[in-house]
Structure 1
Amino acid sequence: MTQTSAKDPNTPNAPGPETEPEAGAAATNPAAPDPAFAMSDDDTLRFDLDPGEPAGPAEARGADAAVASPTDAAGSAPDLGARVAALETELEAMRGDYLRALAEAQNTKRLADKRIQDNTRYAVANLAKALLSVADNMERALAAAPEEARAADPHLKNLAVGVEMTAKEFMGALGQYGVAKVEAMGQPFDPNLHQAVQEMENKDVPAGTVVQVYQAGYVIHDRLLRPAMVVVSRGGPKRAAPAVPADGGVDPAPETPKAVDTSA
């Protein structure tokens, strides 16, 4: 058991060496640090609020922002609708651009396919057109040897037969590539196939009939290589109208001209 010494009357309230300080001494001691203030490691004074104290301006602004957020969200609804409308308009514009680009690509492909097909069909057009003069010369050679002269001269007959065979084989070779002669004699004049160089008075045939061919014309498939140079009749009766069949349909006349591509 610890004994305490008697207090000196000249030193009142002085605790003895073994007396513990009272619990409230730290709160009343001026040298004790205030809990509201603290020194940081860099010797900077820091002020800490008591959790029970009211919030300062910064905390008040944060609370106001939190309270105002529902109003802002409600106010942004019209902006969201306008944004959706703008995006839909942009989508429609992009869809239109896509459809136009797709149509243009299809048209380009169609034109390219037609160009390839035309190049294949008319690849020999220029060569065939240059060789037509050979066919003309063989026809002139045969016309210079009529049947009477052939019958009188066996050598001329053999020569004429050889020219005929050559001309036939020549036209057969051109026919493999779609080259054909235009039938003009006795046909009605067709400006797409014929070139009139003269008119002749003839009342025995309808007006506008080809009565003479100066130079034969040729086509390659449905494209004109060279028009036929012809003589056309005039002064004759009018050409009869196409006959109407019993079923009520229109029966086109055999001499009805066909449309021919003249771009060759």
Structure 2
Amino acid sequence: MTPSPDKGEEKEGPVIRDKRRIDPETGEVRAQAAESPPAPEAPADGGAKGTDEEVSSLKSQLAERIADLQRVKAEYDNYRKRVERDRVAVREQALGQVLSELLPVLDDIGRARDHDELTGGFKSVAESLEAVTGKLGLERYGEKGEPFDPTVHEALMHSLSADVTETSVVDVLQPGYRIGERILRPARVAVADPAPDDGAEEPGDQAGEQAGDDGE
């Protein structure tokens, strides 16, 4: 048999606390047993100091993030410019190779035009070809009378002329071609330098005359 508990001992069990604000028997509002604890007061000095440090830290982190974003943006802009520059260079190089193969054909067209042989259907085809290459940026250059420029001209013949005041192109043996600033073929030309004045005395003669005057 299970021993019965002593009468003096309290029976153990769950403790139930009635926290209802309305008394179920009287219907009256019960008085609060204890007032709500006051809200903790913020520290006067330590809290303000901690807040300033946190704000300063956040500002520093924000400045670092902005600097990182600006650096990444600058790197991306440089990369985009480099890619665009390389793309244009590759396009010009490929286009230049194709047009360089057509230069002998254009030379034949030019010679036929100079000899009045550009007639009939051949004339239409030649003009169409020149129009297409012009749209692609191919430019023909080299004219008589223009100043000689060694960066775009190739001098094959040289002479003296009293009709020029500076080194000039007096004949175009083969026209030059370029795309923008890129030279596909320099203009092959004959150049002339200004001829010396025949009436001017040579420096040696002037020196001899001066010596003879001094000896008299």
Match for 2:146 among 159, 165, 187? Answer: 187
Q: CA RMSD in A?
A: 4.0
Residues 115-154 of structure 1 mapped to structure 2, 5 A cutoff: 124-139=95-110
Match for 1:207 among 156, 162, 166? Answer: 166
Match for 2:155 among 187, 192, 196? Answer: 196
CA distance in 1, matches of 2:88, 2:107: 30
CA distance in 2, matches of 1:197, 1:77: 88
Task: Give the secondary-structure state (helix, strand or coil) at the position aligned to 1:206.
Answer: coil
CA distance in 2, matches of 1:98, 1:191: 49
* 1:234 aligns to 2:205 (yes or no): no
Q: Check whether the contact 1:179–1:220 (CA below 8 A) recurs between aligned residues.
A: yes
Task: Give the secondary-structure state (helix, strand or coil) at the position aligned to 2:72.
Answer: helix
Task: Give the secondary-structure state (helix, strand or coil) at the position aligned to 2:145.
Answer: coil
Hey, what does 1:94 align to over in structure 2?
A: 65
Hey, what does 1:177 align to over in structure 2?
A: 136
Task: Give the secondary-structure state (helix, strand or coil) at the position aligned to 2:191.
Answer: strand
Q: Letter of the 1:78 partner, please give it.
A: K
Normalised by the size of structure 1, how large is the TM-score?
0.47
Q: Check whether the contact 1:218–1:227 (CA below 8 A) recurs between aligned residues.
A: yes
TM-superposed CA distance for 1:175, in Å, is 1.9
Deviations 1:211-260 (A, max 9, x none): 122321012245432221223221259xxxxxxxxxxxxxxxxxxxxxxx
1:138–1:100: structure 2 CA closer, same or farther, 3 Å change rule?
same
Question: How many residues are treated as equivalent by the alignment?
Answer: 161
Hey, what does 2:36 align to over in structure 1?
A: none
Task: Give the secondary-structure state (helix, strand or coil) at the position aligned to 2:136.
Answer: coil
Q: Letter of the 1:131 partner, please give it.
A: L
Q: Unmatched 5+ residue regions in structure 1?
A: 1-31, 34-39, 41-68, 147-156, 238-264
Higher relative contact order (CA 8 A, sep 6+): 2
Structure with bigger gyration radius:
1
CA distance in 1, matches of 2:191, 2:50: 82
Q: Check whether the contact 2:161–2:195 (CA below 8 A) recurs between aligned residues.
A: yes
Normalised by the size of structure 2, how large is the TM-score?
0.55
Q: Unmatched 5+ residue regions in structure 2?
A: 1-7, 13-39, 197-216
